[in-house]
Amino acid sequence: MIEIKRLFAETATTEEWHDYHRVMGRYYEDMNGEPVEREPFLRTAKSGMTSGNCVERTFLAYDNGVVAGSASFVRYDGFEIVFTDIAVLPEFRRRGIGKRLLDRLCSEAHALGLAKLFLFTVDNVPSGELFLLRNGAKKGIVQKGNRLFTKDIDVALMRRWIAAGTKAGFESGVWHNRIPEEHIEQYVVAYNSINDAPHGELETMAVAMTPDAMRASIRRFIVNGGNDILIAWVRDTLSGEFAAISDIALNRSQPMLAFQNNTMTVPQYRGNGFGKLVKAQNALHLIEHWPRIQSIRTSNAEVNDAMLAINEKMGFTQVQTHTFWEMGTEKRI
pLDDT band at 70 (very low <50, low <70, confident <90, very high): very high
Mean pLDDT of the chain: 93
pLDDT band at 198 (very low <50, low <70, confident <90, very high): low
pLDDT of residue 331 exceeding 80: no
Question: What mean pLDDT do residues 210-216 have?
Answer: 95
Question: What mean pLDDT do residues 163-179 have?
Answer: 97
Question: What mean pLDDT do residues 48-71 have?
Answer: 95
pLDDT band at 199 (very low <50, low <70, confident <90, very high): low
Question: What mean pLDDT do residues 179-184 have?
Answer: 97
pTM check: above 0.85 = yes
pLDDT for res 112: 95
> Higher-confidence residue: 44 or 127?
44
pLDDT for res 204: 58
pLDDT for res 197: 61
pLDDT of residue 128 exceeding 80: yes
pLDDT band at 203 (very low <50, low <70, confident <90, very high): low
Report how far residue 119's alpha carbon sits from residue 100's, in angstroms, rounded to the nearest whole number.
16
Q: Which residue, among 331, 329, 317, 325, has the nearest Cα to 144 in the 3D structure?
A: 317
Contact criterion met (CB below 8 Å) for 87 and 27? yes
Sorted by sequence, the CB contacts under 8 Å of residue 231 that are 6+ apart come out as: 174, 175, 176, 179, 245, 246, 247
Report how far residue 108's alpha carbon sits from residue 265's, in angstroms, rounded to the nearest whole number.
37
pLDDT digits (tens, 9 = 90+) for 274-289: 999 999 999 999 999 9
pLDDT of residue 108 exceeding 50: yes
Question: What mean pLDDT do residues 115-120 have?
Answer: 93
pLDDT for res 248: 97
Question: What mean pLDDT do residues 60-83 have?
Answer: 95
Domains and CATH numbers, the chain: 2-143+325-332 (3.40.630.30), 146-321 (3.40.630.30)
| Sheet with 116-122, side-by-side order of all strands | 2-6, 54-63, 66-76, 83-88, 116-122, 317-328, 138-149, 295-301, 257-265, 242-250, 228-236, 170-176
Question: What mean pLDDT do residues 142-168 have?
Answer: 97
Share of the chain above pLDDT 90, in %: 85
pLDDT band at 303 (very low <50, low <70, confident <90, very high): confident
pLDDT band at 333 (very low <50, low <70, confident <90, very high): very low
